[in-house]
Amino acid sequence: MEINAAPVAEVAAARLPRTSTARFWHREGLLLIPFLTPALLFYAVFLLLPLAGTIALSFTEWSGFNVADIEWVGLANFEELGNDPIFWQSLRHNLTFLFGSVVLKTAVALLLALALDQNLPFSNFFRGVYLMPTVISLVVVGIVFTLVLSPSLGLVNPLLEAIGLGDYTRAWLGDPDTVLPLIIVIDAWHGFGLYMFLFISRLIAIPQDLHDAAFVDGASGVQDILHITLPLMKSMVAMVVLLAAIESLKMFALVFILTRGGPNHASEVLSSWAYFQGFTANKVGYGSAILVVLLIITFILAYIQVTRFQPKDEY
């Protein structure tokens, strides 16, 4: 039997305003306003306004003591960046940090998610254990690792000596060669738990039928992971990479607590250098210019991720 739906649609269309925008407002707009307004207000007041302020300040010279002293200097702050070796050093550190931290966090989180998805004994216990570092404040993490890694009062060097590896003891955070890799490892330790949970949530969403079909066709466990699971995880991996990358670029608290950017700028990142310029050297405009560069890098990364790494077909 043929169902003719046209008359119903025509009746409905006749009741609604003609344009899609008008239709939207007629149907849901009024209902959305009370739900969206609080969030939009917070977004505008605590993100958009400070963001606009930072961008505006990057074109000024200001000591930060009196708003009346703000002086427009155009692109002078950005020109100064070119001659600031610490800025370039910080940028390099940010990129190193970005690469190292993203790779570590993603790899560890994915491997553990795959392992915990196998329903091994104590899987739920370990899920909780691995998530614990994520819920600890970065400031607390920084203070704890400062003490643990201290050559004088810490635990690491005595432990190495106790197991016969005394030759490897060192001033971990005071050595320009080890400080940055260490911060990357600490950051990865702190952050991988959340990403592991994101991966697990995606793994659970993969239909069991697909795995069953693969096994019926003779696939091994490894082949199932390589050819069924991982391809279906692409969108989640892309999201985790983006989130981890943005988190790495924003890195401040850990660096500030652990090293203050030292020794001798060996762990300086853009945000800590911007903080120093703005709040210690009384160069708020210059500090803002550094943050604008950081903002641009973050936007570029987000744009690439959103436009290039969105899978088209996924269960």
Partner 1 sequence: MTKHTHARTLHLLVVVLVLLAPVFTAPMRGSAAAQPSGEVKLWTEFTAGGEKTGIEALIAAWQAKNNGVSINHRPIGNEQFFTVIRTGIAGGEPPDLLQWEGYQQTRDFAKAGQIVDLTEWWNTHKANFDLQDAAERACTFEGKIYCVPYTYHTGWQVYYNPAILEENGIQVPTNYEEFLAAAETLKGNGVTPIAFGGKDGWPGEHWYMAFLVQRCGVAGVYSAIEGTGAKFTDPCFVQAAADFQNLVEKEYFSQGAASDDYGTAQAIFLSGQAAFFQTGSWFASGWDQTPPEIEIGIMPFPRMADSAFPNDVTGAVTHTFGIPTAAENPEAAMAVLDWMASPEGAAIWAQNGNLSMVAGAVDTSAPQTIKDLWTNVKAAQAALPWIENELPPGVGEDKVYTGTVALITGDMTPEQFSQSIQEALDASRT
Please give the residue ranges that form the binding site for partner 1 (CB under 8 A). Answer: 63-67, 69, 146-147, 149-154, 157, 171-176, 179, 259-260, 262-266, 276-277, 279-283
| CA angle centred on 12, ends 10 and 14, rounded to 5° | 70
Nearer to partner 1, 175 or 212 (CB): 175
Give 71's contacts (C-beta < 8 A, 6+ positions apart). Answer: 60, 61, 62
In the bound complex, what is the minimum distance in angstroms from residue 151's beta carbon to partner 1? Answer: 4
The Cα–Cα gap between 165 and 153 comes to 18
Nearer to partner 1, 171 or 253 (CB): 171
Q: Is 119 within 8 Å of 209 (Cβ atoms)? A: no
In the bound complex, what is the minimum distance in angstroms from residue 83's beta carbon to partner 1? Answer: 10
The Cα–Cα gap between 266 and 239 comes to 30
In the bound complex, what is the minimum distance in angstroms from residue 281's beta carbon to partner 1? Answer: 4
Considering only CA atoms, which of 225, 170, 232, 223 is closest in space to residue 205?
Answer: 232
- 80: which 2 tokens? 């100064």
- 32: which 2 tokens? 């959305």
The Cα–Cα gap between 219 and 217 comes to 6
In the bound complex, what is the minimum distance in angstroms from residue 130's beta carbon to partner 1? Answer: 28
In the bound complex, what is the minimum distance in angstroms from residue 173's beta carbon to partner 1? Answer: 4
Nearer to partner 1, 201 or 282 (CB): 282
Nearer to partner 1, 81 or 246 (CB): 81
Nearer to partner 1, 68 or 163 (CB): 68
Burial of 55 (0-12, 13-18, 19+ CB in 10 A): middle
Nearer to partner 1, 59 or 276 (CB): 276
Question: Which of helix, strand or coil describes residue 61?
Answer: strand
Q: Is 286 within 8 Å of 215 (Cβ atoms)? A: no
In the bound complex, what is the minimum distance in angstroms from residue 255's beta carbon to partner 1? Answer: 12
- 130: which 2 tokens? 């691995």
φ and ψ of 268, to 5 deg: -65, 135
Nearer to partner 1, 106 or 272 (CB): 272
In the bound complex, what is the minimum distance in angstroms from residue 247's beta carbon to partner 1? Answer: 24
